[in-house]
Amino acid sequence: MVSAKRNLRPLNNASALAGPAAAIVFLLMQVFCDRLIDPFRPFSHSTATLRGSVRDNVTAAEIEDAVVTVDGTDLSATTDNAGTFRLSGVPTGKASITITSDEYHTFHSTVDVTLEPPGRDYRLARVVRPPAVGAVIVDTGSMRFFDDSLTVVFKAADSFGGITKAVLHTGDTAGGEQLEMLFDPPVDDVVDSFTFAYSSRDTSRETFHARLMIIDARGDTGVDSFTVLISKPRRPTFALIRTGPKGFITGEWENLQVNVADPDSLFSRLSIDWGDGSDTVTSQALERPYWHKYQVADPQMPVTIRLFGKGGLLNETLLYLPVKKISPPLLDNKLFFKPSQYCAPHDSVILIGVRILEIKDDYAAQIIWIVNENDPPSFAYHRDSLGAETGAISDSIGNLFVHRFSTAGFKGTNIVEVRVVDNADNSGTVSGTFFITGRAD
């Protein structure tokens, strides 16, 4: 009995070792079988190196200093100046990564990590941070229309690259203009202003719209739109247009009085086109007479008066001025001679007279006596004024004006022409003949 028990002890020790050994054998067999099924699958505890690059999703520019992190681990890497990274010790299998950068939206992705993972390109969307546009102050002053000045004062700030440009679109698309202001080097904040002249002839408008754009070094744009109130202008008008008391007469100076009412100080000048081909008159006076002398008569002479402001023509009117023509001097149709139309050889002097029956303003500007105009020795005498003594023969009918001639050099038949000119350059002419008897032709 005792020997039998001793023989059983080795068997009991073998049974005690059978459990762990069987487990180890089973595990090795399972691994071996897995290798036979997928010999390239890594062990669950193996690691690999994750490589890649980080770029802008629009420009494809490399993003430097972006941080790549494997979620749930302490593993992270920072991209270099080429935008690439290398992250070692990443467990194989599925991994979630996060990429962050100051100027870009946070990026999340799940990747398969293998023993030899290929490099991958990650694209990040940039965070748009437009410059901040502060207060926009519009100083209209007494602005109306027609090139009045307007000032826009603005404030702006940008901490991502700095402000490089300010652009002001003035007015609506039609008739507006674009003003630019450049900042080189870029600035983080700015207080500046645009001053421009708003030009519009649309007097029905009471407002116009403008837009201010602040652009930074990255191309982000801050925009502020605003509306400017404009006082409707009152156009200059003609307060008075009046001719002189006599009206316009051919060959005479007369004035046209023009008064302008300008309640909103828009007037800059006026012009008068007299309608006869003469030079246009311009003036900056609100009230004054304009003198003109017409050389031709016309029952309706077209006269155009235009009023201009800073932006151009504001008002105009067309008048038809009557221009009267004065009749030429009315003369007696015969000349008067003394001692006679027939002179004796011994008559050394002859008086020749012309009678003016009617003349403008009762004044003759000039009287011209011409004797033997086409037969030398001819003689011409010009009298510029009737104020001097003329040796009147008779004042019983009209006004008789004479000139004394020496008969020396005259003989036979002599032809006389007398021309009377009034202040309007109208003239009347009368002719006659006198004879020197006893002197051969």
Q: Is the pLDDT of residue 86 over 50?
A: yes
Residue 77 — pLDDT band, cuts 50, 70, 90? very high
Beta bridge partners of 54: 122
Neighbours of 195 (CB within 10 A): 11
The lowest-confidence range among 28-32, 310-314, 383-387 is 383-387
Average pLDDT over residues 143-158: 71
Q: How far apart are CA 423 and CA 427, in angstroms?
A: 9
Topology of the domain comprising 47-124: Immunoglobulin-like (2.60.40)
Rg of the chain over all Cα atoms, to the nearest angstrom: 57
Is pTM beyond 0.85? Reply is no
Average pLDDT over residues 118-146: 75
Please check whether residue 108 is in contact with residue 98, taking contact to mean a CB–CB distance below 8 angstroms.
Answer: yes
Residue 175 — pLDDT band, cuts 50, 70, 90? low
pLDDT, tens only, 235-293:
889 999 999 888 888 878 899 999 999 987 888 999 999 999 899 999 999 999 999 99
At residue 28, φ and ψ (nearest 5 deg) are -65, -40
Burial of 131 (0-12, 13-18, 19+ CB in 10 A): buried
Task: Please confirm whether the linkage preceding 329 is cis (ω < 30° from 0).
Answer: no
Question: Which residue would you say has higher pLDDT here, 122 or 143?
Answer: 122
Tokens 């008559």 label which residue? 347
Topology of the domain comprising 132-229: Immunoglobulin-like (2.60.40)
Residue 320 — pLDDT band, cuts 50, 70, 90? very high
Q: Is the pLDDT of residue 432 over 70?
A: yes
Task: Output the six-digit token pair for 255.
Answer: 């004035």
DSSP strand E in 310-362: where?
Answer: 312-324, 330-331, 336-338, 342-343, 349-358
Domain boundaries defined on the chain: 47-124, 132-229, 237-324, 330-436
User: Virtual CA dihedral for 85, 90, 93, 97, nearest 10 degrees?
Assistant: -50
Q: How far, rounded to the nearest angstrom, does the alpha carbon of residue 408 sit from its chain's CA centroid?
A: 79
Q: How far apart are CA 410 and CA 347, in angstroms?
A: 11
Provide CATH code, domain 330-436.
2.60.40.3760
Task: Please confirm whether the linkage preceding 339 is cis (ω < 30° from 0).
Answer: yes
The lowest-confidence range among 158-162, 185-189, 271-275 is 158-162
pLDDT, tens only, 14-56:
444 455 555 554 555 554 444 444 444 444 558 888 899 999 9
Topology of the domain comprising 237-324: Immunoglobulin-like (2.60.40)
Q: Is the pLDDT of residue 379 over 60?
A: no
Common-topology check for domains 47-124 and 237-324: yes
Query: Is residue 124 helix, strand or coil?
Result: strand
